[in-house]
Amino acid sequence: MSDLDIGIPFQDAPPRGGRPRHRRRREGGRSVGAFIVMLLVFGLIAGGGWYGYKKVKGFLTPEDYPGPGTGSVTIQVEQGDTSGAIANTLFKADVVKSAKAFTEAANNDQRSLSLQPGTYVLRKQMKAAAALALMLDPKSKDVNTFLIREGLTVKEILAEISKQTKIPQADLDKAASDPAGLGVPDWARSAPGKPLVLEGFLFPAKYEFGPKDTAKSLLSQMVAQTNKIMTDDGFIAAAGAIHRTPFELLTVASLVEGEAKSADFGKLSRVVYNRLGHTDFLKYLQFDSTTQYWLIKTGVGRKKHLTNAELKNPANDYSTALDMHAGLPPTPISNPGKAALEAAAHPESGDWTYFVVTSKDGRSSFTSSYAQHLKNVQTCKDIGVC
């Protein structure tokens, strides 16, 4: 009887050649072992993948402090700083843990576009988003302000800045003596080869200043504003369109600022251009404001009434009185605002060559008739405004 006939399991039956059959058992054991090894390998791979993911995530996610920060630190944002430049400033001051964290926070918040130059009081080791939020809070700015109105001369503006900011007058005078160092453009000259002129470039507006600001930084800020407006608002291009240089346009705007109320700006600008086109006695502007400027420039100061001696003084190179100096004065006579610049660039249409104040609120009457002008002058006298 064979092994098969008496029920001996197949795996225990001797193989041909007489050797026992244990192959399937070994193979089964190897299968289990291989499975265990595979689990271990998979676990290592999975663990390594998770570790790698964490590393990659850490690389892609910039380092950031977790909290609101501590202490106090002052940082300065300069004119023209980008979010990247601000981020680097914050990183160097240890306000944020990485510049990239702040840059990402700024990119995710449209309000960051409204960040202004100035001095900010922040905290050290802040979460980037918290640092941005604090900078957007007006209370974080360590600033004061000063206000310069339209129509003042450089000399008057320097005195006003010193009064409002407590910066020494001597420091302001020294900074003002170097127009190029303040950013005044090369075209700001009365003639080729002449010195650069600061007059006309201290744009009248409200400005902020912090503890780190100097005479030079404040005046540079004002000059930069004039340069920006002249370029971005198209006044340089407009000057060419009316066959004038930018310096001449700035000078006309200063005359408008010195002679007219805002409602009369466009008409007075036209009077200037009409007179400049004449070759007879009308080529003399006959503006008192130009001699007033000369008096301020020479230290005398503004006067309510000018004398004939002052108007006809041979040393008065700003006098536009009859038979003195025809055409425009050598430089602007004040620092005009935007409305005066608009008037100089886009004068109203008209043939006016005369004007005089005829109302107590300072409004003027304009005419091209000398006879009518004499009547207007009488009205001026009758109401006591001239």
pLDDT per residue as tens digits for the range 356-379: 999 988 889 999 999 999 999 999
Average pLDDT, whole number, for the chain? Answer: 87
Q: Looking at the structure, tell me whether residues 232 and 256 fall in a common domain.
A: yes
Tell me the per-residue pLDDT of 227-268, one tens digit each, with 9 for 90 and over: 999 999 999 999 999 999 999 999 999 999 999 877 899 999
Q: Looking at the structure, tell me whether residues 277 and 313 fall in a common domain.
A: yes
Q: Looking at the structure, tell me whether residues 104 and 230 fall in a common domain.
A: no
- Where residue 103 sits, what CATH number does that domain have? 3.30.1490.480
Domain ranges, residue 33: 23-61
Q: Residue 4 domain-assigned?
A: no
Confidence of residue 60 (pLDDT cuts 50, 70, 90): low
pLDDT over 80 (residue 121): yes
Q: Looking at the structure, tell me whether residues 178 and 252 fall in a common domain.
A: yes
Runs of H (alpha helix) within 242-356: 246-259, 265-276, 288-297, 308-311, 338-345
The pLDDT value given to residue 241: 96
Q: Residue 362 domain-assigned?
A: no
* Structural domains in the chain (count): 3
Name residue 163's amino acid: K
The pLDDT value given to residue 2: 39
Q: Residue 9 domain-assigned?
A: no
Q: Looking at the structure, tell me whether residues 200 and 270 fall in a common domain.
A: yes
What does the alpha-carbon distance between residue 132 and residue 106 come to, in Å, rounded to a whole number? Answer: 7
Q: Looking at the structure, tell me whether residues 174 and 86 fall in a common domain.
A: no
What does the alpha-carbon distance between residue 67 and residue 130 come to, in Å, rounded to a whole number? Answer: 8
Confidence of residue 79 (pLDDT cuts 50, 70, 90): confident
Distances (CA, A) of 235 to 48, 267, 281: 65, 18, 30
Q: Looking at the structure, tell me whether residues 50 and 172 fall in a common domain.
A: no
The pLDDT value given to residue 139: 83
Tell me the per-residue pLDDT of 127-149, one tens digit each, with 9 for 90 and over: 999 999 999 998 888 778 899 99
Q: Residue 15 domain-assigned?
A: no
Q: Looking at the structure, tell me whether residues 287 and 311 fall in a common domain.
A: yes
| Percent above pLDDT 90 for the chain | 70
Give the CB-side neighbour count of residue 252, counting CA atoms within 13 A.
31
Q: Looking at the structure, tell me whether residues 265 and 306 fall in a common domain.
A: yes
Asked if 202 contacts 154 with a C-beta cutoff of 8 angstroms, the reply is: yes
The pLDDT value given to residue 33: 54
Q: Looking at the structure, tell me whether residues 109 and 50 fall in a common domain.
A: no
Once rounded to an integer, what is the mean pLDDT over residues 298-311?
94
Q: Looking at the structure, tell me whether residues 327 and 216 fall in a common domain.
A: yes
Q: Looking at the structure, tell me whether residues 48 and 83 fall in a common domain.
A: no
The pLDDT value given to residue 114: 83
Q: Residue 68 in 3-state DSSP? A: coil
pLDDT over 90 (residue 383): yes
Q: Residue 377 domain-assigned?
A: no
pTM, entire model: 0.72
Tell me the per-residue pLDDT of 87-100, one tens digit each, with 9 for 90 and over: 999 999 999 999 99
Once rounded to an integer, what is the mean pLDDT over residues 186-199?
96
Distance from the first to the final alpha carbon of the chain: 149
What does the alpha-carbon distance between residue 180 and residue 184 come to, in Å, rounded to a whole number? Answer: 5
| Beta bridge mates, 209 | 144
Q: Residue 104 domain-assigned?
A: yes
Asked if 147 contacts 165 with a C-beta cutoff of 8 angstroms, the reply is: no
Once rounded to an integer, what is the mean pLDDT over residues 28-41?
52
Asked if 118 contacts 210 with a C-beta cutoff of 8 angstroms, the reply is: yes
Q: Residue 177 domain-assigned?
A: yes
Q: Residue 8 domain-assigned?
A: no
